[in-house]
Structure 1
Amino acid sequence: MEPNEDGKPFFVASVGHYLKYRSGPVVDGVVLVNPETGDTKYYPKGKEPKWVDRTFTLETALEYWTYWGKYVHGWKNQSLIGPKKDVLIPNEDNMQVTFNEKGELIYVVDFTRAKSKGNSKTLVGYGVFNAKTGEMTYYKGVTSVLTGKEAKSNANASEFLSKYPGWKATNGIFYTIYGAPTYVIPVTKGSKFQGVAIVSANSDNPQVVFGKTKDEAFRNYKKLIASLGKVNGVTPQKGFEMKEIKGKVMRINDANLSNGYVFHLIVEGNAKRFSVDPGVNALSDVVLTNVGDQVVLKVMDMEEDIVPVDEFTNLDLPKK
């Protein structure tokens, strides 16, 4: 179901035909179904309304990637008795739905290499499938990186999640963050969101951090990446050291978010915006801070527009 520009919902059904018998699905277009009246209208592929994001289903995209990976050298090459040369296997348990920088819906899946006995557990590349156009792009050259399944397993086995019975890592999405291969994985208990696990996905030395908020998780991940230094050819970006910012508060405001108050402030002589979330020490001092107070902020600035604060000190408050 997708809403049009006016917010009115429609069921969007992908329709097509098979190349031969019941195999080789080809998408011809979509049928829009009005859920109130039952009226239907067919649009050929490429002629759909602009607001329709999904012409190709997730299942069709996975089938296309499976064909592409398996039959690179024909059927015999991927059979039980074949050598399986260059055969790639999509991780069907970790195919993700997300959006690209243009706002287009895409499916992302990671690939492992098929072997004569079982399949590799190391990521060798990943595929991106445009859900509207059907365009397929494979990104190769990924080495020594965990698959999404292995990253999820590492998150569930971490000391952070083991402290909370019933908390489970769900499927994560692969990114390059701060110059390092990374999976960002929501953590839930039943259907309730509990926080974010972030996995440094180097297969030689996987590491997991956790935060009950996104800001807390990424603040912890910065510290982890800084402590790892150069790992397996990945050199972290500049700015991976703790900096001290000292100055007068020019502005300070709070935002009441679902996870608690987050404070934003500007310090005299610094063009950056700084944020202080509930996970930071001395949050009570932040609450008592006024414009004009002298403060000391410890941050790990990685060129974000808003820099999270790791430690906060108000020099004008009475000493405890």
Structure 2
Amino acid sequence: MLRKWIPIRYTAGVFYGILLFYVGLLDQSFSGILTYYVPLVAIGMIMDSTLVFTFVKTFRKQTAMIGAGIGAVILILFIVFWVLQPLFLADQKYEMADGEEVTVEDLNPVNEENIPVVPRSYAEYRSDILMGQLQNQAFYNLGQTRIQKMDGSLYWVTPIEYDGFFRWVRSDAAPGYIIVSAENPREEPQLIEMDMTYVPSGYFHEDVNRHVRSEFPDVIMYDTHFEVDQEGNPHYIVSYGSYTEFRRVSDVEGVIIVDPVTGEMEQHTIEETPEWVNRIFPPHIAEERNEWFGIYKSGIFNRFFGREGLTQPTYWGSDDGVTGVVDQDLNLSWFTDHTRLVGEGEETSRSMIAFTMFDARTGELRNFRDASGSLNGRVAMDLAERTFRRDDYVAGTPSLYNVYGQYTWVVPLMDRNNVLREIMLVNASDENVYGYGDTKREAFGAYQLELATRTDEDIVPGELTELEEVTATVERVYQWDREEGVTVRFLLEGYDRIFTVSSGSYPRAVFMEPGDEVLIEFMDGGEEVQPVESIEILRNPS
């Protein structure tokens, strides 16, 4: 009996190990081995004692019960520990989140040109079109699209991956990557062709994660993403670290940088990581710590019973629960806003309690509590979609910036084919203060005008220009009928720009004709499409 049973057990054990360590890339750490083998050993003891007692008549019942009982006790204790242990980790998780309370003064205004307005879905749409230039394009798929800094600007970068095992067999290498501007939707995307051997969609030794695991068997690999250095060289960045509290709390320690062309690897701690690497902490770590920071502020009992002062991150409805935003130096942070914690079945709050910025390189979590009472991101998305209801546009994931000294939501709007159509800025303190346009400059100009004329808040000195007054003759007029009113655009003699005004603010503007002499006031920000703060039709010479 044992001669037949033991070889089968050993064969199954070897197969199980291959699944864990080669296919599943499990770290060869003490906690990993203990977690995945203790239940197996316990089940094996129960099966051994039961089967031997059943088929070997000389095997004593008491011995069988002891063996099976020990296995059952081990299995039950493991399950109880695994289920109950998280209830005692509230303080440890909150300390790991390590949130710092800050105010709007700590959120520096960002250069308008560097605020990303191109949503990821639109970047993927343009990348998919550009991939058609490849030979044998049916062999490949787009990898994960991520935002990063390159040459002082922000771009969406997408590696090209294999489309399955047989395409990998027939291909010598993945063909390269695609970059799409995150700042300017009209900038042409670029296909950078470069043979890359070690990629996530490769197989066997060419799988970049397996390649790393072969060299670093005991580290925890949290995330693998694609980045390009300042010289345009591609790299896969593997965030690594360790677990504390028996694999319950993740602690990121650094990155392993892999050259997908040569396979060369470099390990760096957080402090030693090269400056061109945009992110060390992956988005799922930021999501996790945001959740811990919101629900474990006063321990586990308050989490389930008192629930005093607890918050939860807003659900965006996108792939990530956080979105990437940048500061004035283009350093990346993971952003999300928080609302009050609601129970299952309750309506989600539409007001923001606070928002957080999680530094993607250092893991520092900053909590902006002074934003309490402002509109949350979900409301900003709803407002944008209502404004363009007739066009049936869909709002992309919003991001929050300090624009002209005000908390402001930047919301991209796309059609049903994921083509970017409009950019909308919504004041987080007042949903009636917003501006939009089909270019970034037009949207910021419209928002600047609304902010200056409709809000009582103090404007950051130097952010808005002085009000200019011009008297000139109208050269051409164009009226654009929108759901919320008529937008009048006109040209003035002697001015090489387009002026625009809404009939909602100035109803008489719809009667303006070429040849009219008008008096307008505007803040000259150098925009090609210049919003007008006030307009008066003086006379028509004819």
The normalised TM-score by structure 2 is 0.44
Report the counterpart of residue 12 of structure 1 in structure 2.
237
Output one character per residue of 1:251-282: Cα deviation in whole Å (capped at 9) or x when no partner. Answer: xxxxxxxxxxxxxxxxxxxxxxxxxxxx9521
- Report if aligned partners of 2:469, 2:520 keep a CA contact under 8 Å in 1: yes
Question: Equivalents in 2 of 1:92, 1:56: separation in Å?
Answer: 20
**Cα separation, partners in 2 of 1:179 and 1:43, compared to 1, 3 Å:** closer
Shift of 1:242: 5.4
Q: Point out which structure has higher relative CO (alpha carbons under 8 A, 6+ apart).
A: 2
Larger mean CA deviation between 217-226 and 63-72 belongs to 217-226
> Would you tell me which structure has more strand in proportion to its own residues?
1
Task: Name the CA distance, whole Å, in 2 between partners of 1:53 and 1:90.
Answer: 23
- 1:159-308 alignment, distance < 5 Å: 161-165=388-392, 167-189=393-415, 190-202=417-429, 205-230=431-456, 234-236=457-459, 243-245=468-470, 280-282=489-491, 286=495, 298-301=520-523
Change (3 A) 1:150 1:309: closer
Q: Name the count of aligned residue pairs.
A: 267
**SS of corresponding position for 1:300:** strand
CA RMSD of aligned residues (A): 3.3
TM-score (norm 1): 0.72
Q: Give secondary structure in 1 for the equivalent of 2:231.
A: coil
SS in 1 for 2:285: helix
Q: 1:283 to 1:215 in 2, by over 3 A?
A: farther
1:104 aligns to 2:337 (yes or no): no
Select between 39-48 and 67-76 the one with higher mean Cα deviation.
Answer: 39-48
**1:155 matched to which residue of 2?**
384
User: Partner residue of 2:312?
Assistant: 89
- Structure label with greater radius of gyration: 2
Instruction: Decide which of 110, 124, 130 is 2:353's aligned counterpart.
Output: 124
Change (3 A) 1:310 1:297: farther
- The 1:297/1:101 distance shift into structure 2, 3 A limit, reads farther
CA deviation after TM superposition for structure 1 residue 90, in Å: 1.7
Q: Does residue 56 of the first structure (1) align with residue 56 of the second (2)?
A: no
In the TM superposition, 1:74-85 aligns within 5 A as 74-79=299-304, 82-85=305-308
Q: Which moved more, 1:238-247 or 1:36-45?
A: 238-247
- What is the CA–CA distance in structure 1 between the aligned matches of 2:527 and 2:241, rounded to whole Å? 47
Change (3 A) 1:18 1:297: farther
State the distance in 2 between where 1:307 and 1:299 align: 16
67-76 vs 14-23, which moves further: 14-23
- Contact 2:279 2:360 (8 Å CA) reproduced: yes
Q: Give the Cα–Cα distance (whole angstroms) in 2 for the partners of residues 4 and 185 of structure 1.
A: 29
CA–CA separation in structure 1 for the residues paired with 2:493 and 2:413 = 28
- Give, in whole Å, the separation in 1 of the partners of 2:441 and 2:492: 15
- Quick check: 2:441–2:528 contact (8 Å CA) kept in 1? no
Q: Using the alignment, how far apart are the partners of 1:206 and 1:18 within structure 2? A: 47
Q: Deviations over 1:212-242 (max 9, x none)?
A: 1122222222333344242xxx345687995
Relative to structure 1, is the Cα distance of residues 24 and 210 closer, same or farther in structure 2, using a 3 angstrom cutoff? Answer: same
Distance in structure 1 (CA, Å) of the matches to 2:407 and 2:373: 10
User: Shift of residue 182 of structure 1?
Assistant: 1.9
Q: Is this contact kept in 1: 2:433–2:451, CA < 8 A? A: no
SS at match of 2:523: coil
Aligned to 2:227: 2
Indicate if the aligned counterparts of 1:78 and 1:87 stay in contact, CA closer than 8 A: yes
CA change 1:24–1:188 in 2 (3 A) is same
Residue pair 2:353, 2:372 contacting (<8 A) in 1 also:
yes
Instruction: Flag the 1:237–1:15 CA change in 2: closer, same or farther, 3 A.
Output: closer
Deviations 1:99-155 (A, max 9, x none): 212332111211112256555321121111111111111111223311111111111
Residue 195 of structure 1: how far off its partner (Å): 1.9
Corresponding residue to 1:46 among 244, 248, 271: 271
**1:225 alignment partner, SS class:** helix
Q: Would you say the 8 A contact 2:375–2:428 is kept in 1?
A: yes
Structure 2 residue 530 is the aligned partner of structure 1 residue 309: yes
Contact persistence 1:53–1:105 (CA under 8 A): yes
**In structure 2, how many angstroms separate the alpha carbons of the residues matched to 1:104 and 1:221?**
25
Residue equivalent to 1:269: none
Percent of paired sites with the same residue: 23
User: What 5-or-longer segments of structure 2 have no aligned partner?
Assistant: 1-225, 473-487, 498-516, 533-540
Query: Cα deviation per residue 1:36-85 (whole Å; 9 max; x = unaligned)?
Result: 23332221221112211211001111111111111001112112xx1211
- Which secondary structure state, in structure 2, belongs to the residue aligned with residue 7 of structure 1? coil
In the alignment, the residues of structure 1 paired with residue 272 and residue 293 of structure 2 have an alpha-carbon distance, to the nearest angstrom, of: 26
Q: What letter is aligned with 1:97?
A: G
SS of 1:31's equivalent in the other structure is strand
State the alpha-carbon separation in 2 of the partners of residues 240 and 9 from structure 1: 42
**Preserved contact between residue 356 and residue 368 of structure 2 (Cα < 8 Å):** yes
The 1:38–1:188 alpha-carbon spacing in structure 2 relative to 1, beyond 3 Å, is same
CA distance in 1, matches of 2:367, 2:428: 19
Residue type at the aligned position of 2:272: K
Where structure 1 has 5 or more consecutive residues not aligned to the other structure, the ranges are: 248-278, 289-294, 312-318
| In 2, Cα distance between equivalents of 1:296 and 1:241 | 20
Deviations 1:10-47 (A, max 9, x none): 01011112212332111021111211233322212211
Aligned-partner Cα distance in 2 for 1:300–1:307: 13
Distance 1:132 1:300 in 2: 41
Does the residue aligned with 1:68 lie in a helix, a strand or coil? helix
Contact 1:299 1:307 in 2 (8 A): no
